[in-house]
Structure 1
């Protein structure tokens, strides 16, 4: 991974890795080269990076983006909506035009950067299930002697 013309490697500090993860996840760029695209549509991860050919089969953010979006955004927004109801007692249609769009946008907009951060974090930290390296190589027909992140 190249950051400011230098390689981010296993010896890089946690601060450098964290900065790289945040930048590549936010931009949706390849966590290896920083130039290619991570997404081919809103939340669909591409098969390979068009620049460095990173294979994204390792990426498995699963329900993480939805979980973090709900916990970080929806939960506080729900308290805000309840406060509006208790403090001002607006009619139901006010919530329809204010609370519902705020909740929808507040939960949907962060999904892509959160998913990008999770995928970049998996790549940078070489995160995979313990003991699954050989099985993963067999399933995907890849070289078991090389890390899945380096193929």
Structure 2
């Protein structure tokens, strides 16, 4: 196997958070809300190797619950007389935050996997044992 130069993890994560290809930063990462493109439309990098599974959902829940929990403590005195209004405000905030963060967390995980060459990312740059004469 030939050694490949290490990929910049911070740059790949930043590009993933911006919903862009971790390799070039130009092409769109998603073809739909959470559907990852098989290849980057700009550079042709294969993106179908990703294995995000439940990770983005866990990260989204972690961030949203911290934000809503802190907001609950800050707002409970103001809305003490109207708990229904407090529940509606916090529920709306949680829903909007979840919908905004979920694709970004998936992009973050794909960026990390690409940078660390996990799950098949980077295989096309390595010599395979079948290539030997």
Same fold (TM over 0.5): yes
User: 1:107 maps to what in 2?
Assistant: 98
Structure 2: distance between partners of 1:96 and 1:77:
11
Q: TM-score normalised to the size of structure 2?
A: 0.74
Structure 1: distance between partners of 2:81 and 2:103:
33
Contact 2:15 2:21 survives alignment (8 Å): yes
Number of residues of Structure 1 aligned to a counterpart in Structure 2: 121
User: 2:43 maps to what in 1?
Assistant: 52
**Structure 1 residue 79 displacement after superposition:** 4.7
SS state of the match for residue 110, structure 1?
helix
User: 1:78 maps to what in 2?
Assistant: 69
Stretches of 4+ aligned residues off by more than 4 angstroms? none
- 2:54 is the alignment partner of 1:63: yes
User: 1:22 maps to what in 2?
Assistant: 13
Structure 2: distance between partners of 1:49 and 1:72:
28
User: 1:40 maps to what in 2?
Assistant: 31
| Unpaired segments ≥5 residues, structure 1 | 1-8, 138-143, 147-151
Q: TM-score normalised to the size of structure 1?
A: 0.66
Structure 1: distance between partners of 2:88 and 2:16:
32
Structure 1: distance between partners of 2:86 and 2:39:
43
**Structure 1 residue 105 displacement after superposition:** 1.4
SS state of the match for residue 121, structure 1?
helix
| Unpaired segments ≥5 residues, structure 2 | none
Structure 1: distance between partners of 2:47 and 2:102:
18
- 2:96 is the alignment partner of 1:145: no
Structure 2: distance between partners of 1:11 and 1:18:
9
User: 1:10 maps to what in 2?
Assistant: 5
